Structure 1
Amino acid sequence: MGIKFRLIVMNFLQYAIWGAYLTSMGSYLVSADLSSHIGIFYAMQGIVSIFMPAVIGIVADRWIPAQRLLGMCHLLAAVFIGAAGYYAHSAGAGVQFGPLFALYSFSVAFYMPTIALSNSVAYSVLESKGFDTVKAFPPIRVWGTVGFICSMLVCDAAGFQTTYMQFVQCAVLGLTLAVYAMTLPNCPVSRGSEKKSVVEALGLRAFALFKQKKMALFFIFSMLLGVSLQITNGFANPFITSFRDVPEFASTFGANHANALISLSQVSETLCILLIPFCLKRFGIKNVMLMAMFAWVLRFGLFGLGNPGGGVWMFILSMIVYGVAFDFFNISGSLFVNNETDTAIRSSAQGLFMIMTNGIGATIGTLGAQAVVDRFVYSQSSVEAMTAGWSASWLIFAGYALCVAIVFALVFKYKHDPEAIGEIGH
């Protein structure tokens, strides 16, 4: 079995786990009368990403091979998300925020580090086999998106969108990857014989990257752009599903199958991943990130203007631009960090990237989005007012993304060298 195929399976399962609940959990929380807690559920993914990926990355750099640690983290994450599903089943209509949130939080605390870890495993294995990661990784990573799509569609088709069974689906996939990860090629740790400082021993040298103006600005804007990452994951499904309460749109396909409609976003992501090597070489990291930022403006703006009836084309276009919005930032950023950091701190640097994006940025974004949605949507009593509130909320998010894009264009300086072989820029 070829090594690329083995990494494809790893990526497929890695994101199928997330796809089981990421886009539909908001609708489940609405059905469980926990709509006011959607933001904190999604923010918890960001909160744990502030410290867990860095801690796990340090362990992978220094003590435990990354592939083995990947399996251990998935095992623990699967156990806790499975327990959350069991609790929801046992509690029936009386699901309480506290127990469900606690079990879910422990699960994501161990899942979120695996995103950076799986990247590190792929990079390490590919480099050990002599592959160019910039060229070889995107076609492998694209299968992660395929896994996410398949898991979303299974969740939709099986009727799990508004039930706790999405957590059970997630647990089964997590246990599968936990076992599979243990069979992957070994990723060596950096055990040097020379005496190291405390900072070096703990793997904290990755934070020294902030001393470089280029890297500091990159991480700061990664955080600002990270604000947008989880907003549609948390609120797109409840938003689209809410049109079932509007007589004009009650019978539309989108209003009744939000996950299937949202899955077009991941189809777009699948195609856009394949464009990354070309775009990075042709345009450079700054322009690629600018494309992502303006794509977020369109992503949110089209949600604010569309509907699942005559305006469904706006929803579809929003799904299409998502591929650029997500991939051109997340994947390109990960490759940029990989190319700009020393191998001894690579896992730690990937963890730091996660802290800034899925950690601080996503936490601020989801909590801020919850405040906006509470103010404009859930505080309203009529269906008409709630629908108008949703539109206003999405346009506010679009305005934020536009401001970040304009400032980034003016502040971030990076000289791109399209002739640099095996590099993103120079």
Structure 2
Amino acid sequence: MNFFQFFVWGSWLISLGGYMGNQLGFSGLQIGSVYSTMGIASVFMPGLLGIVADRWVNAERVFALAHFIAAGALIAAAGMTDFASFYTYMLVHSLFYMPTLALSNSVCYNVLTRRNFDVVKTFPPIRVWGTVGFIVAMWAVDLLGWTKSANQLYLAAGAGLFLGCYAFTVPPSPPYLDETRKKSLMSSLGLDAFVLFRKKNIALFFVFSLLLGAALQITNAFGGPFLDDFKTKYPDSFGVKHPNLLLSISQISETLFILLIPFFLTRFGIRNVILFSIVAWVLRFALFGLGNPDDRLYLLILSMIIYGMAFDFFNISGSLYVEKMAEPTIRSSAQGLFMIMTNGFGAIIGSYGSGWVVDHFTDSGGVRDWPNIWFTFAGYALALAVLFLLVFRDRRIEDIKR
């Protein structure tokens, strides 16, 4: 399930920016706005479908239906060339795909918990198959020559339809139906998970989830266009010819850092693990600003390797942190709330903000000043690291062991 969950995303997430910029002629702000659909969807849809899964319908069935609708939207988007239509169908896709990220975690946690597994130790080796699926999809799109083709969307849709069918074969994840939850006003309004904001540490965690979430979509949207802009200066370089293969090093790095998460969490605690992640984002962007796909290719490769720490140490550890802090009865809602903060409000800020930065450093001839673009993003991450170090002071490992 994890393999195909992220195969769907990997088929287009990294390469769609290049397709939109080169084949459809979209501007930086338009590309950013398409990527922002994931943020818009994540503001309310993960929480909404999480509530449905917590109360009325098995989580794996909600998961399946969402994938069917999301796949249909991708098929429709693949046939569009104008911005308005393309944006609309990608928005529909995001509305139903983004909730499946939280629902897949919820289904996994539910099955593991019911079978008495230690979630903190058991989940990362399972989740690593999602990263493998993402990498396989990226390589397939690159080697088939689809990085600037609508075929990447058809590939993602096919995988989504298969996953929707497969979801009906996984162990059931039924909702909790006790009388207290039925009569709860918070439950009726779908505000269960917001009680977590009463705890100072987790409230701060969600605030930084929003701020750090802004960094998550930047290289997804503009990594491809960045490498493609070297096609005139370095037309025969590996990064220009095979952008997805180069960028996939980031996901390969994830497989290592995912497996290291339990060690780092128990040794350093959630605060330091998140801080490591933010500092890694600083290095990720700075190395992009200094590198190129020719004589400075090693800097880009180093940036890809660092991405594993930047992404996993926050995204996976954060999901585990929320899982341990939330009651079982609000598991799906809590995971949905985490998605709202990172891939919702954070992604909206990051998508539109990065699009504005790219256009700001683009001259009238369409030439982009990539070093200043990446250094701007690095400066943002550095400011966030300093703020986190000053504000989030809880060092207790007990926060994730409860």
Fold-level similarity (TM above 0.5): yes
Note the 1:268-307 alignment, pairs <5 A: 268-307=253-292
Q: Aligned-pair distance for 1:210?
A: 1.4
Question: 1:244-264 CA distances to partner (integer Å, 9 max, x unpaired)?
Answer: 022xx1210111211110000
After superposition, the CA RMSD in angstroms is: 1.2
The one-letter code of the counterpart of 1:408 is: F
Q: 2:344 aligned to 359, 363, 369, which one?
A: 359
For 1:328 and 1:166, locate their aligned partners in 2 and report how far apart those are by CA, in whole Å: 29
| 1:424 corresponds to | 400
For 1:73 and 1:125, locate their aligned partners in 2 and report how far apart those are by CA, in whole Å: 20
Q: 1:78 aligned to 68, 71, 75, which one?
A: 71
- Verify the 8 A CA contact 1:142 1:270 in the aligned structure 2: yes
For 1:415 and 1:370, locate their aligned partners in 2 and report how far apart those are by CA, in whole Å: 36
Q: 2:183 aligned to 196, 202, 207, which one?
A: 196
- Verify the 8 A CA contact 1:203 1:345 in the aligned structure 2: no
For 1:26 and 1:245, locate their aligned partners in 2 and report how far apart those are by CA, in whole Å: 18
Note the 1:327-342 alignment, pairs <5 A: 327-342=312-327
Q: Does 1:226 align with 2:213?
A: yes
Q: Does 1:255 align with 2:240?
A: yes
Shift in alpha-carbon separation, 1:250–1:209, aligned structure 2, 3 A? same
The one-letter code of the counterpart of 1:210 is: F
Unaligned runs of 5+ in 2: none
For 1:382 and 1:344, locate their aligned partners in 2 and report how far apart those are by CA, in whole Å: 52
- Verify the 8 A CA contact 1:20 1:155 in the aligned structure 2: yes
Question: 1:156-209 CA distances to partner (integer Å, 9 max, x unpaired)?
Answer: 011110011111001000000000001111112011124523222333121121
Length, aligned pairs only: 399
| 1:267 corresponds to | 252
Q: 2:21 aligned to 30, 33, 50, which one?
A: 30
Q: 1:381 aligned to 339, 348, 365, which one?
A: 365
Note the 1:57-206 alignment, pairs <5 A: 57-85=50-78, 87-88=79-80, 95-194=81-180, 196-206=183-193
The one-letter code of the counterpart of 2:400 is: I
| 1:19 corresponds to | 10
Identity of paired residues, percent?
51
4+ runs deviating over 3 angstroms: none
For 2:189 and 2:172, locate their aligned partners in 1 and report how far apart those are by CA, in whole Å: 22
Question: 1:44-76 CA distances to partner (integer Å, 9 max, x unpaired)?
Answer: 100110000000111110111111111110011
For 1:103 and 1:382, locate their aligned partners in 2 and report how far apart those are by CA, in whole Å: 27
- Verify the 8 A CA contact 2:324 2:401 in the aligned structure 1: no
Q: Aligned-pair distance for 1:416?
A: 2.1
Question: 1:108-135 CA distances to partner (integer Å, 9 max, x unpaired)?
Answer: 1100000000000000001111110100
| 1:6 corresponds to | none
Q: Does 1:45 align with 2:32?
A: no
The one-letter code of the counterpart of 2:64 is: G
Q: Aligned-pair distance for 1:326?
A: 0.2
The one-letter code of the counterpart of 1:130 is: N
For 2:259 and 2:400, locate their aligned partners in 1 and report how far apart those are by CA, in whole Å: 15
Note the 1:315-334 alignment, pairs <5 A: 315-334=300-319
For 2:190 and 2:109, locate their aligned partners in 1 and report how far apart those are by CA, in whole Å: 18
For 1:266 and 1:380, locate their aligned partners in 2 and report how far apart those are by CA, in whole Å: 35
Q: Aligned-pair distance for 1:425?
A: 4.6
The one-letter code of the counterpart of 2:167 is: A
Q: Aligned-pair distance for 1:380?
A: 4.0
For 2:53 and 2:32, locate their aligned partners in 1 and report how far apart those are by CA, in whole Å: 31
Shift in alpha-carbon separation, 1:74–1:192, aligned structure 2, 3 A? same
Q: Does 1:399 align with 2:379?
A: yes
For 1:337 and 1:193, locate their aligned partners in 2 and report how far apart those are by CA, in whole Å: 25
Provide TM-score, normalisation by structure 2: 0.97
For 2:51 and 2:394, locate their aligned partners in 1 and report how far apart those are by CA, in whole Å: 29
| 1:55 corresponds to | 48
The one-letter code of the counterpart of 1:300 is: F
Shift in alpha-carbon separation, 1:228–1:382, aligned structure 2, 3 A? closer
- Verify the 8 A CA contact 2:212 2:278 in the aligned structure 1: yes
For 1:399 and 1:245, locate their aligned partners in 2 and report how far apart those are by CA, in whole Å: 29
> What secondary structure sits across from 2:170 in the alignment?
coil
- Verify the 8 A CA contact 1:79 1:171 in the aligned structure 2: yes
